[in-house]
Amino acid sequence: MTADRLDLGVLMMEPLTDAAQWRERIHRVEEAGATTLQVSDHFDRSPASPLLALAAAAQHTDRLRLGTLVLNNDFRHPAVLAKEVASLQVLCGGRLELGLGAGWMTEDYAVSGIVREPAGRRIDRLADTLALLRALRDSAGGPVDLENASVGVVGFRDVPAVPRAPALLVGGGGPRVLGLAAATADVVGINFDVREGHVGGRATRSASAGATDEKVALVRRTAGDRRPVLHLMLYWAAVTERPEDEAAKRIAAAGLDLEPAELLASPHCLIGPRSALRERVCELRERWGFGYVSCYEADLDAVAPLVTGG
């Protein structure tokens, strides 16, 4: 982050049709001045398998970081994940940003048949995976012997050998995940509290400015002398002279239990006239200390000039 800009990630959520279309979209993100191309990890909502999509993207850009926002820890065994991460880190020339979370969306578990256990169990498993990734990093790739509830590896090493460990982003909206992220991650993703398994009342209440103050304060207390980068997802973005009308449309489309004024006040929202949005971007940096934000691909034209200093 420089004094007049934020790093910008772009979350690719539009349908994937073929290799040529993917290549064109990657180039558009690069030309907009973004720093990171990101893919999510849902069975129905994500346009492609994230690690495969990023491996393909690595063939078409040598500047963009390549990130997962975020992988569901329940979808891959930790040792398998570590192998795939090492492979992709080598293939993309060390530009991987590994985003990892405990999993949350009920629909993902329902369609896949994977059991959605209580949040505490899922967070326990995330902590176990992070322990393996930290051990590999600390040992410069292995060999690592580690045994916990989710991981039991003997002589495990990164194959292929990575030039350096990927940057680690851990995201969440509850105290325990944010504390884990603050203690372990290079980047802490400040997100909604989605323990309900969908974006319901708890999630939208946790999107407020006050709730964000509390989350950031928790991260700072836990991180201590560590200085992880703080990341925020901009879920709603539009440049408009009629922000209340635009907010009402977004609320209706998503079925949110919010008033337009509440949505517009959320730090996750960037809807309004350009001058007001530039002030909001400054607030993200100065009030909360965010150095890195992401937007949906569909909002790229609105967001990029505001946060990249363009």
State the pLDDT at residue 310.
Answer: 63
Verdict on whether the full-model pTM lies above 0.85: yes
59 DSSP β-pair partners: none
Which tens digits make up the pLDDT trace of 158-201?
A: 999 999 999 999 999 999 999 999 999 999 999 999 999 999 88
97 belongs to a structural domain:
yes
295 belongs to a structural domain:
yes
127 belongs to a structural domain:
yes
Q: What is the CATH number of the domain that holds 107?
A: 3.20.20.30
- Taking alpha carbons only, the member of 227, 265, 223 closest to residue 244 is 265
2 belongs to a structural domain:
no
Helices (H), 32-69: 50-57
189 belongs to a structural domain:
yes
Mean of the per-residue pLDDT values for the chain? 96
How many C-beta atoms surround the C-beta of residue 246 within 10 A? Answer: 21
292 belongs to a structural domain:
yes
Residue 3 has pLDDT above 50, yes or no: no
199 belongs to a structural domain:
yes
State the pLDDT at residue 201.
Answer: 86
Total number of domains in the chain: 1
Residue 269 in 3-state DSSP?
Answer: strand
1 belongs to a structural domain:
no
Q: In the structure, what pLDDT confidence band is assigned to residue 4 with cuts at 50, 70 and 90?
A: low
Distance CA 7, CA 173 (A): 21
Q: What is residue 186's DSSP assignment?
A: S
Which tens digits make up the pLDDT trace of 58-110?
A: 999 999 999 999 999 999 999 999 999 999 999 999 999 999 999 999 999 99
Domain that holds residue 149: 7-307
Is the N-terminal amide bond of 144 cis, ω within 30° of 0?
no
Residue 157 has pLDDT above 90, yes or no: yes
- Tell me the two tokens of residue 248: 């009402």
